[in-house]
Structure 1
Amino acid sequence: MTTQAHWTAVCSQTNLVPDSGICALLKETQIALFYVKKEQTVFAIANHDPFSQANVLSRGLIGSKGDDLFVASPVYKQHFCLKTGRCLDDETTQIQTWPARIENGQVEVLF
């Protein structure tokens, strides 16, 4: 049996911290949400850092490398692209991402 993804309301837009991350729990999965104010965009990535094996990516810092917006892990400082989840420091590693949007004042994730 397969389940189809659908837009799931996660929190209010007012819960977002501009240019920072927060953590949300969806169906037992920790998701890190990052709101990039300049672009008025929200990104949803896995909160689990595959290098430290800790759920900490929501506490990472947002930055950019070339055209890639990334979050730097607060533990070992690897950089993960917010759009694709690929690790900019280790091409063999990638974390899960989900489409996210702000709709009628609610943050929604396609989950």
Structure 2
Amino acid sequence: MSTPNKTSPGADPKQLERTGTVRVTGSLAVWFLSSCKLGFRVDQLRVGNLKIYWQSGGSQPHLVNIQFRRKTTVKTLCIYASYKSDESYTPSKILASVGNNFQNLQEIWQLELVEPSG
């Protein structure tokens, strides 16, 4: 998602898009998952309903790869995580990497999560 200015944590990106504050660009990308459990695929990841979600499977790390068809500037990334709802499935670390392909990805930031809510 790209945004011209700062938004408050927990703000609804779709609501902000309606006001013209941000432009949600996720539909312009192709989304891949490293793994998923039956019935918890990539379409559940972006459905916009907090009761529907992606559930990873297999060994860690669990990856979400977002590839844009052309160069796209992303200024803000919104991720909802709820320890209260997910417990052991809640991520404890989120890394963001960028590049032109898998071979030249460079980590640009890392976030440690402790019982996140929102």
Structure with greater proportional strand content: 1
- TMscore range, shorter length: under 0.3
Larger RCO, structures 1/2 (Cα 8 Å, 6+ apart): 1
Structure showing the higher helix proportion among its residues: 2
